Amino acid sequence: MAAGSWNSWTQGDIVTNAKFQDIQDSIVFIYASDSAANTALTNKVEGTVYFNTTDDVLKFWDGSAWVALEGVKAFTVDFLVIAGGGGGGSTYALNYTSGGGAAGGYLNSYSTETSGGGNSSLESLTILADGTTTYAINIGAGGTGGVGNVSAATIGSPSYFHNAVAFGGGAGFATGQGANNIGHGASSSGQVNNNNVDQYVLGSAIGASSGYQGYRGGYQTSGSTGYGAGGGGAASAVGGNASNNGGNGGAGLASSITGSSTTRAGGGGGGSLFNTQGTGGSGGGGAASSTNGVAGTANTGSGGGANASQSQNGYSGGNGGSGVVILRYSSDYTISVGAGLTDGGEQTDGADKYIVFTAGSGTVTFS
C-alpha cells in the first residue's frame, strides 16, 4: 500500500516491513529545524510530516523541500480612535458671547487605559492575517468655527477603525446659532445670555457628566449676564464653567499606545466679552480670543476656541482639530495600507509595531 494510506487491520495480520514503514511514514515527528528533520528522516517520502518546535508550525515534505502547513492566522490589534473636534462658537450679536468647541469621541483599547467619558478600555479587535480581508479606516475632520453673524460653528466628523466608531465633538454655542452644535462624542459648551436658560440646556444635555465618548461642556454660573461662556467638554473632564470670565476647556486624556504618553482630545476655551478668555484644555484644545479663536491641534480631536467680540466684524471661532487612528499589534505581523490614507509608516516599540493614521479614508490588510 502507498505510504500514509489507511489499512484496515484484522486479527492475525502480520506486520510486514512495508506495513511498518507505512506506519512510520504517517507519524508526526518532532524536530527543532528542517536540517534536524533531514538528518533523522533519511527515508522520508512525499507527505511525511514533522512539527518544527522552533517556529511552532507543522511542515510536510513535498518531495524536495519542507513546506509549512499554516492556516489563516488570527491576532488582536489595539486601537486609539479619536473623532474630529467641534468648532468654537463666534459672537452673533452685540453683548453676546460664545462657547468653546468640544473634543471628539475618544475610544481606546490599549492596555489598562480608559476611553473618553470615564469609560473603561474597550476590547481589542480580532484581525485575520490573510493579506486579503480589508478593514476600513477614516480620520474625521474637525468642525469649522462660527463666523460672527454669518454662520454657526459645526460639529466634528466621525473617525473609525472597522466597527470602532468615534463620534464628532459638539460645536461651540452662540446665541441664535444653536442648530449645528449637537455632537455625540463630547457635548458642546453651554452658556447663558440674557437669562435664556434654554441655551445652557441645549449645550449640556447632549453629553451627561459621563457615559458617552466624552464629557459635557461648561456653562455660566455667575457674573454679569452675557459676559462669559463655558468651555468645551473633553475626553477626561467637563468643560469649565464661566462667570465674568470664559470657562476653560476640559482636560484631554493621555495614552501610551505609541510607547510614550501623549494627551489628546482637550476642549476649546469659552469666550468672555470684557474679561479673561477661557484657555484650551490640555491635549490640544484651542483658546478663546477677542479676535479669532485658536484652532484645536490637528490629530488630537480637540475643540476649537471661541471668539467673543463686541465688534461683529467677521472674527471667527477656531476650527476643531482633526481626529486620529492609531493601531498597535505584534511585530509578527505586517500591515498594508490602501490608497486614500495618510500615515507615518510602521514603527517599532518593544515587541510590537504601531502605526499612526493622520488623514483620509481607505482600507488596510494584514499578513
Residue 10's pLDDT is 79
The C-alpha cell at 362 is 481607505
Task: Report the distance separating Cα 124 and Cα 35, nearest Å.
Answer: 39
Task: Report the distance separating Cα 86 and Cα 75, nearest Å.
Answer: 35
3-state secondary structure 335-357: EEECCCEEECCCEEECCEEEEEE
Residue 223's pLDDT is 64
Series of mean pLDDT values for 10-residue runs along the chain (367 residues): 57 75 69 91 85 84 85 87 92 78 94 91 91 96 90 90 91 62 49 39 35 79 70 90 89 97 96 90 96 97 89 83 98 97 98 98 97
Residue 148's pLDDT is 82
The C-alpha cell at 46 is 512525499
pTM above 0.85, yes or no: no
Q: Cβ distance 252 to 266 under 8 Å?
A: yes
Residues 6+ apart with CB under 8 A from 36: none
174, 179, 185, 189: CA torsion to nearest 10: 20
All structural domains of the chain: 17-69 (3.40.1620), 72-367 (no CATH)
